[in-house]
Structure 1
Amino acid sequence: MKLYIKYMVSNRCKIVVKDVLKKFDLTFSLVDLGEVEIMEDITEEERENLAAALLETGLELIDDKKAILIEKIKGIIINMVHYTEEDIKINFSDYLNEKLNHSYTYNYIANLFSDIQGTTIEHFIIFQKIERVKELMIYGELTITEIAYKMNYSSVAHLSAQFKKVTGFPPSYFRQLKEKRRSPIEEVGNSILNN
């Protein structure tokens, strides 16, 4: 039996859902972003109890077919942007159609997403990509050029322009903020002593 869960957008959410399922003694074969497959059929009362338990964790069991499709789309995008180690080189509309395995046209998906989410798929992807760029910058393992390539930007200038449009400041300023965000423990309080 498949169940669809709203707001399930991270690996941490998967852990929470697995814990809830275990509390209900439900055996699962799949726990993915926005989607769970359990081995048992459950009664309406068990479903309501499961829904209440998920709601306590900030997650929501959903039945509406359109809401389920939106959660699938969000899960596919989040998974592609945040949890795939491969460089993003695929056209997202093709990728979505491939992953959804449906005969939906991209226009139908895009319009439905905009109506329900209040933003376009493209903006959702951009916001996810910029959030991933921030994460990669904080790790400090890649140069901005390497990050631009990894996130499938045509150039560093393209990444920088999009970053500034979303955050309000350029990546270089974000890196400076990141470096000033924390101080080594040995240095905390030294500026007071040196003044």
Structure 2
Amino acid sequence: MIVKSELERFGYTIIAIQLGEVEIKEELLKHQIDEIQKAFSQFEFTIIKKGNEKVVEKIKLLVNTFVNQHDELQHLNLSTYIQSNINKEYNYLSNVFSETENKTIEHFYIDHKIEKIKEYLSDNEISISEIAYKMNYSSISYLSNQYKKETGYTPSQFKSLNDNKRVGLENL
């Protein structure tokens, strides 16, 4: 009854409901699921992710690992790494990710690389040339162009900022 009333309060059309499972007519976006989870948490209910959402979470973890352990994984490309760890065709995984997250795996990967570059720039311990090498960019100019496209700043401009506009990985 609680699940039914909360979902109806949000304006969702319930197709079927049974113990532990509910099917609604509408497709939910991530922020809508978060909103429902917040409402359910007051009753100590948790939304359990199924199917595609578990795959997307696994892909996100693999991208994070790929970016942070790139030295060890440099001999692989991202698609091969993901496919070999999930044992499904990359095209399928890419479609599931895009449908769920409204961005491609590649763009998610670029977002993570940019945040890692910001980390390196903020630490101020290695040169831009070393960062380009560590992050597997073919040149400093390619890194700089992609960085500026994504952030609006060149790496040098970012280094000179006081507040270093970094985004938490959980917000990507």
**TM-score, normalised via structure 1 length:** 0.57
What is residue 121 of structure 2 aligned with on the other side? 137
CA distance in 2, matches of 1:156, 1:87: 21
Contact 1:88/1:150, CA 8 A, preserved across alignment: no
Tell me, which stretches of 5 or more residues in structure 2 are unaligned? 1-19, 21-36, 165-172
Aligned-residue offset at 1:110:
0.7
State the 1:99 CA deviation. Answer: 1.6
Tell me whether 1:155 sits opposite 2:144 in the alignment: no
Q: Is the 8 A contact 2:66 2:78 kept in 1?
A: no
Quick one: which amino acid aligns to residue 81 of structure 2? Y
Deviation at 1:63, TM superposition (A): 3.0
- In the comparison of the two structures, how many residue pairs are matched? 123
Cα pair 1:113 1:119 within 8 Å, conserved:
yes
Question: Structure 2 counterpart of 1:119, which letter?
Answer: K
TM-score by length of 2: 0.65
Which shifted more, 155-164 or 88-97? 88-97
Question: What's the counterpart of residue 10 of structure 2?
Answer: none
Q: Which amino acid aligns with 1:91?
A: N
1:86: Cα distance to partner? 2.2
**SS state at 1:62 partner:** coil
On the 8 A contact 2:117/2:131 being kept in 1, the answer is yes
- Taking the aligned partners of 1:61 and 1:79, their CA distance within structure 2 comes to 26
- Deviation (angstroms), 1:87: 5.7
1:136-176 deviation digits (Å, cap 9, x = unpaired): 11111110010001011111111001100100111010011
1:71 matched to which residue of 2? 57
Given that 1:87 and 1:149 are in contact with CA atoms closer than 8 Å, whether structure 2 keeps it comes out as no
Measured in 2, the distance between the counterparts of 1:117 and 1:96 equals 16
2:130 aligned to 135, 139, 146, which one? 146
Instruction: Look up the match of 2:106.
Output: 122
The alpha carbon displacement at 1:97 in A equals: 1.1
1:61 offset after TM fit, Å?
5.7
